[in-house]
Amino acid sequence: MKRIVVLRLGHRLFRDQRMTTHVALTARALGAEGVLFISGDKTVEQSLRDARKRWGGEFYVRGGVNWRDEIRKWKDAGGKVCHLTMYGINLPDVIDEIKGTKNLMVIVGAEKVPAEVYDLVDWNVAIGQQPHSEVAALAIFLDRLQEGEELKRSFKRGLKIIPKRKGKCVKRG
């Protein structure tokens, strides 16, 4: 896998602010290079900018995007697109096929996802066939995709946690 980018659809102002921030933090922590979202809500961009300043890395956040244009551009550049939805093919039945992809856009929703998305993408993938959360779906997907390697990654600059069985130890990187 060369590049992973996350596209967050939906986002009801106030109601989804925390969820979108958590989608972005999860994407950052678990190996994506950046997140795109359709709302122009500046609080999400600010939270992620703060996280990057404190914890390092190169992660980017781009709000106010047009989802149709972003999917088209990604596909035109040779990338593949995977939409996470409980209506898709269950993850264990399709993950090996997706693992071979070089550049992958992962789409998660909030409210109802437009029907067109289901047709535009290369894969509609379910993380089990029960409704749960975009954050949980994204985390499980990214982990299975990268076979846990994303947990060993280190981030350039910023604070570094020295793992401890008890207590906390944080150093400047």
Closer CB to ligand SAM, residue 52 or residue 109? 109
Residue 133 beta carbon to ligand SAM: minimum distance, rounded to whole angstroms: 6
What are the helix (H) ranges across the chain? 17-29, 42-55, 67-76, 95-99, 115-120, 134-146
Per-residue DSSP letters for 89-101? EEGGGTHHHHHT-
Q: Name, in order, each residue with C-beta under 8 angstroms of 98's C-beta and a sequence gap of 6 or more.
A: 80, 82, 104, 123, 125, 145
Instruction: Report 36-65 residues binding ligand SAM (CB under 6 A).
Output: none
Piece of 43-51, 104-112, 153-161, 165-173 that binds ligand SAM (CB under 6 A): 104-112
User: Can residue 35 be called a binding residue for ligand SAM (CB under 6 A)?
Assistant: no
User: Can residue 126 be called a binding residue for ligand SAM (CB under 6 A)?
Assistant: yes
Piece of 63-71, 96-104, 126-134, 146-154 that binds ligand SAM (CB under 6 A): 126-134
